Amino acid sequence: MTTALLDLQAIDKHFPGVRALKDARFDVRQGEVHALIGENGAGKSTMIKIVSGVYQPDAGEIRLDGEQVHFANPREAQQAGIATIYQELGLYPELTVAENIFMGHAPIRKHGFFRAVDWERMESEAEDLLAELNIHNLDVGAKVGTLNVGNRQRVEIAKALSLDARILIMDEPTAALTESDVEQLFSIVRLLRERGVSIIYISHRLNEVFELADRVTVLRDGEYIGTHDVKDTSEGELISMMVGRTIENLFPKQDADIGEVVLEVRDLHRPPLTQNISFSVRAGEIVGLAGLVGSGRSETAQVIFGVLPAESGAILLNGEAVTIQRPSEAVEHGIGYVPEDRGHQGLVREMTIRENTTMAVLDSVSKNTFINRAKERLLASRSIKQLSIRATGSEQIVNKLSGGNQQKVVVSKWLASNPKLLIMDEPTRGVDVGAKSEIHRLMSQLAAEEGLAILMISSELPEVLGMSDRILVMREGRLVAEFSRAEATQEVVAHAMMSEEVRQAAGALA
């Protein structure tokens, strides 16, 4: 049981200007869930891309079952029984569930000289695979493009199983899932472990590590820090291993003088996900918008920012009615917006950190359409320092940053734009503990010292409770509850988030 199925030793990996892994190591036993954690840019994704054949190490040794192996490409790793589920799922939306599962290895039927895909067998085998994972309500004939994220991920897992994977790698699998999808993912992971599959699990959520993993390995700055049995370690120990220091205050909320109303929305309406929404946010105030994924929080934020203009209702800024038909108009009125989907809405990934950071503040760095490079660079380096963005410098292309560091660029871009109102949709998703508390500290400071009004959407209840002066709860496109900071507890907010049916289903599961 203690011998390793997979063993990586003395791994080095360079990218231009970065040493992503230095003498790093990592081993996985058969039938264990092994969590790989560390700050943004620590080298986690690089490590698993080496395991899955996407990258080749500059130095070091990989052993599988005691034998040294080299994976020249992902296909070779796959043939050795290693399957990976990436954040950006690799499925074909136009094909069905069954076709995706059996892509590249469909059952074949022979008619004399002709060989053809055996569609019936493919569908029934796909059904069997899903049934093995206790997934019964997924139509194997449905096009993958019509499925939600949770179901698409289940298709990926079934696909890995159809390839007889012995090692399954998951890179931040819960980042975009609803709570019930997370529960279902956890039961699938446990089922696979019972069957002897080894799972490498990357996450920034330490509670998941404690709930799911057997062992945990910490990387810091590309180096191996240590491996522990999960039952013998604590959250505090893991955090100090990750950041090299202890973090005192996870939610450093400052008391702020709450001022005048900055944003007021009245009967904002764009069904189905924004129905007759009315609320306000004051200067210096952080208002948390809680709700389940799909309750309409992001859509409401997008209506206010002009991404999805309202059908009816009013938006008032500092008491004056404004019309916002597109994001540029929102920006002109002093609204900033950190979107949920950093990849598509937040960044221009082919441009540098400097260009991305200053995009929202072009006015302050440009004079007569002439952009002041030096000023831009100054702003960008300040952001890099403030949020410890791990990069070669302000001229690095955003695409080359680790996932969490890209999120930091989006956040700093809007913090630099001096907005009056800042809407933040999952501002710390995928961000490590150190940078997370730094983002929280900046939010709190801007609210308290500069009177910034903040509307924060978050699916993490501790973040909502820790950071908000007031909490609004949405459910099925409507505002259903409001709590002051003093009234709000995990229980009452969670209760308000759930509909009667969800409450019953959750009760039945417990």
Ligand X SMILES: Nc1ncnc2c1ncn2[C@@H]1O[C@H](COP(=O)(O)OP(=O)(O)OP(=O)(O)O)[C@@H](O)[C@H]1O
- On the 0-12 / 13-18 / 19+ scale of CB atoms within 10 A, 481 is middle
How far apart, in whole angstroms, are the C-alpha atoms of residue 280 and residue 261? 7
| Choices 38-46, 93-101, 157-165, 348-356; region in contact with ligand X by CB under 6 A | 38-46
Kindly state whether residue 430 participates in binding Mg ion, applying the rule CB under 5 A: no
Total chain residues near Mg ion (CB under 5 A): 3
Decide if 201 contacts 20 (C-beta within 8 A).
no
Contact 140, 129 (CB under 8 A): no
Shortest distance in whole angstroms from residue 333 CB to ligand X: 33
Binding mask 363-402 for ligand X (x = CB under 6 A): ---------------------------x---------xxx
Cβ at position 393, least distance to ligand X in Å: 11
From Mg ion, ligand X, none, which one binds at residue 20 (CB under 5 to 8 Å depending on kind)? ligand X
Nearer to ligand X, 274 or 352 (CB): 352
**Which of 25, 34, 44, 475 touches ligand X (CB under 6 A)?**
44
Paired with 484 in beta bridges are 470
Binding of Mg ion at residue 403 (CB under 5 A)? yes
State in Å, rounded, how far the first CA of the chain is from the last one.
32
How many residues belong to the chain?
Answer: 510
**Whole-number minimum distance, CB 43 to Mg ion, in Å?**
9
Is the distance from CB of 454 to CB of 286 less than 8 angstroms?
A: yes
Please spell the DSSP secondary structure of 129-157, one letter per residue. Answer: HHHHTT--S--TTSBGGGS-HHHHHHHHH
Q: Containing H/E element for 395?
A: none
Looking at 25, 33, 35, 43, which residue binds ligand X (CB under 6 A)? 43
Residue whose CB is less far from ligand X, 353 or 493: 353
In whole angstroms, what is the distance from residue 360 CA to residue 348 CA? 12
Instruction: Give the residue, chosen from 34, 38, 285, 384, that forms a contact with ligand X under the rule CB under 6 A.
Output: 38
Q: Choose among ligand X, Mg ion, none what residue 197 binds, the Cβ cut-off being 5 to 8 Å by kind.
A: none
Distance CA 436, CA 463 (A): 10
Q: Which stretch binds Mg ion (CB under 5 A): 150-158, 351-359, 360-368, 400-408?
A: 400-408
Binding mask 405-444 for ligand X (x = CB under 6 A): x---------------------------------------
Alpha-carbon distance 472 to 480, whole Å?
A: 8
Angstrom distance (rounded) from CA 424 to CA 389:
19
Tokens at 469, concatenated: 């002066």
**Partner whose binding site includes residue 288, from ligand X, Mg ion, none (CB under 5 to 8 Å by kind):** none
Residue 424 makes CB contacts below 8 A (sequence gap 6+) with 337, 338, 411, 414, 443, 454, 455, 456, 457
Number of residues in contact with ligand X, rule: CB under 6 A?
Answer: 18
Q: Give contact residues for Mg ion (rule: CB under 5 A).
A: 45, 402-403
Q: Give contact residues for ligand X (rule: CB under 6 A).
A: 15, 18, 20, 38, 40-46, 390, 400-405
